[in-house]
Chains A and B, each alone.
Chain A
Amino acid sequence: MDNFERRAFIKGAALGTLVFMVDGAKLMLTPREARAQGVPLRTLTAEQAATLDSVGETLVPGAKEAGITNFVDQQISIPAEQSLLQARILNVRPPFANFYRAAIGAVDQASNKAKSQKFAELTPDEQHEFVDLMRQNKLDGWQGPPGPFVYTVLRSDAVDVVYATMDGYATLGVPYMPHIAPTKRW
């Protein structure tokens, strides 16, 4: 990496922040801060965001407040080689936005078919049951990336924002022990 790029990278990583666009300005924020400040989404629609928030919260309690939607939205809005998403490790073919649009669309389509409501409008019990069926590939009429794979990818994102952060380690009582210490808890 050239020196300039490396400095920018180190700064972002050390702070545990990502670059979010707000009113044309670049701000370094954690996903949790981006959510709290209402940072506009760049790629996902409001409807898609509502679904992703709900699926994330069903998969890992706390994922919504931890900014899963801002995290995913920011990550699918940058070049794939810069992405920090688990999708990269799970061999999702770039551009990753295509996968997320298809996955979220499949969730709402299947929810509409089964319950005549979008996923975000289901009760928590219904959402839990839906995700359990998706995990086992048992949802009738599912159209899109395989349900178990959608479960795996979105669960990984939710785990990332809730448990892979310094705050997440702290909630579990696990010492983080970084070589290159973040100065914020993400």
Chain B
Amino acid sequence: MAYEKVDAVIVGAGASGSVFAYVLARAGKKVVILDNGPDWQLTDLISSDIWGRRVKPAGAPVLLGGKNPFAYTYQAGWGVGGAALHYFANFPRYLPSDFKIKSEHNRAHDWPIAYENLAPFYDKVAADVGVSGDAKAEEKWRPAGAPYPMPPMKTFPNGEAWLKGAETNGIHFVPAAVGMTSTEFKGRPACIYDGWCHVGCPIGALANPVVTYLGEARKAGAEVRALCTATRVLSNQDGTRVTGVEYYDANKQRQVQEASVVILAAWSAQNPRLLLNSATDKHPKGLANSSELVGKFMMVHHIAGTWALFDEDLTPHMGTVGAQFMSYDRYAKTSYPGAFGSSFIVAGAAMKTNDYAAARADLFGPELAAFMKRAARGITRITFFGEELPQLENRVELASDKDEFGMPLAQLIHSFDDDALRLWNANFEQGMNVAKATTATAAWPGKPPFVPTAHLHGGAIMGKGPENSVTNSYGQTHEIANLWMAGPCIFPTEGASNPTYTIFAVSLRGAEHLAQNWGSVAG
């Protein structure tokens, strides 16, 4: 079956792809979105840690290497909605300092835009998808903006237990900004705080793409093709334009979708894989890769979680899996002597029984059974997300192993440098100091033999020119005007904030620019 040429084909129906589909479809463009997983509906989102694994990655694996491999499978997505189908929906912004590390510290990269360029899009996204929080309270750390459309979420003892200890250590918590409904919002009901966000929220209280941008895009005519695996971006003979995407459909048949514009909005490890696998004689190193920066500067957040047990009943199972409280009081790049990078702090997350067991992974047998009983009443955690700076050596490359369609697998090689490891250790020390200043009866660092990680960024970073970047600030590749990249793959640095709010904002800025300049881009 041959498909008609469309205006835009988007690879990936997650957070960033949904935004591009929403903007372009509403601008009257014919849009097709390809996703390699199922077309999940809200009714598929079973409240169970076991059944929730259905929406986690499947299919061709990403091979992991380096000293600190990125354990991606818990938080990455598979299927329509992507990782944002089951994300925690913490919505902290990046701060102005994140956009100018090079200027202020002579390290890493500056973004080609400033916070002020993105601020209006943070406010637009909040109004579009619904954010609950206290903007005034967090403006002690950032420039003023619009108030959030909903008041903060409820808090619970498992979050409140940290407040005194944090204040004692100079860490001021404010209500966390989250992409959830504290009140009814645009027909979506208010959250009921049952703590199943991480396996997907079937009532739509959590702002996943299915109930926000992707839902609106579909209403505007965007077509979603599920179980369709993109394998190559196709280009014309002289290599000046891309012409569409080759993919394998649900019946494992090869298809080609021609389009005037191609937008790669898959996961950050998959976007470079596609570009590298699309090499031609005109682009022998892969598309948009004359700089040889495709797949480079992969970054992740390191996680330092400190656990504590209280005698009081903290109702650990209640709340949301995102945070109740957040703080930027260790966000300054030089917050800790001898370490470098931002840290973002959250407290108060609903936990389920698998979390209790994970809190003491060394325990088994009768000791584990006894611990589970205590944890069911009194366990909680404070979590520090830490920044690492981009390094050329942290990269995605094509492996010799291939998937079922003959496409080389992605190999993700990642190691932390000493700065990142010092910051990770400093955050554990800080977390323990906070815990000791609470009424907890026991506290311990959640420090396994490996460095826990989250949030993959990089691989096609934005910049001012092709000599040091793959795309411009909108996601348009420097080399091929109608080839665009979307998502955290274009972030040149990662800050320490959970990235999805910024993914939405950067994507909305890029998509609106594309729609406004369609004629010059699409040809």
Contact = CB atoms under 8 A, between A and B. Distances in A.
Interface of A: 1, 6, 9-10, 13-14, 16, 58-61, 80-86, 88-91, 93-94, 128, 131-132, 135, 148, 151-152, 155-156, 159-160, 163-165, 168-169, 172-182
Contacts of A165: 50
Given A80-B58, A164-B354, A60 B368 contact: yes
B445 to A, nearest CB: 18
Contact of B46 (A89, A148, A174, A180): A180
A179 B194 contact: yes
Given A85-B53, A91-B73, A163-B372, A13 B366 contact: no
Given A131-B365, A176-B47, A178-B196, 15 more contacts: A6-B41, A9-B44, A13-B46, A81-B59, A83-B53, A89-B53, A94-B61, A135-B364, A152-B361, A155-B357, A164-B49, A172-B373, A178-B47, A179-B47, A179-B196
B202 interface: yes
B177 to A, nearest CB: 23
B357 to A, nearest CB: 4
Given A60-B369, A91-B73, A164-B354, A6 B43 contact: yes
Interface in B317-372: 317, 352-354, 356-357, 361-362, 364-366, 368-369, 372
A10 B44 contact: yes
B48 A164 contact: yes
Contacts of A1: 38-41, 44
Contacts, number: 130
A46 to B, nearest CB: 25
B459 interface: no
B195 interface: yes
B405 interface: no
A9 B53 CA distance: 13
A10 B43 contact: yes
9 contacts: A14-B46, A61-B369, A151-B364, A155-B361, A164-B49, A172-B376, A176-B47, A177-B47, A180-B47
Contact of A155 (B43, B48, B64, B364): B364
B45 interface: yes
A124 to B, nearest CB: 9
Contacts of A13: 46, 48, 51
A52 B317 CA distance: 30
B353 A163 contact: yes
Contacts of B361: 152, 155
B113 interface: no
Contacts of B196: 177-179
B53 A91 contact: no
A176 B199 CA distance: 14
A172 B45 contact: no
Interface of B: 38-41, 43-51, 53-54, 56-59, 61, 64, 71-74, 78, 194-196, 201-203, 317, 352-354, 356-357, 361-362, 364-366, 368-369, 372-373, 376-377, 449
Given A89-B56, A160-B354, A163-B353, A135 B45 contact: no
A11 to B, nearest CB: 11
Given A84-B50, A91-B61, A58 B364 contact: yes
A48 to B, nearest CB: 20
A1 B61 CA distance: 21
A9 B40 CA distance: 12
Contacts of A9: 44, 54
A38 to B, nearest CB: 23
A148 B364 CA distance: 13
A6 B362 CA distance: 38
Residue among B54, B201, B353 facing the most chain A CB atoms (10 A cut-off): B353
Contact of A163 (B57, B59, B201, B357): B357
Contacts of A60: 364-365, 368-369
A184 B332 CA distance: 51
B317 A174 contact: yes
Contact of B64 (A10, A89, A91, A175): A91
A133 to B, nearest CB: 12
Contacts of A159: 353-354, 357
A131 B202 contact: no
A179 B372 contact: no
A95 B39 CA distance: 24
Given A88-B73, A131-B364, A164-B353, A93 B61 contact: yes
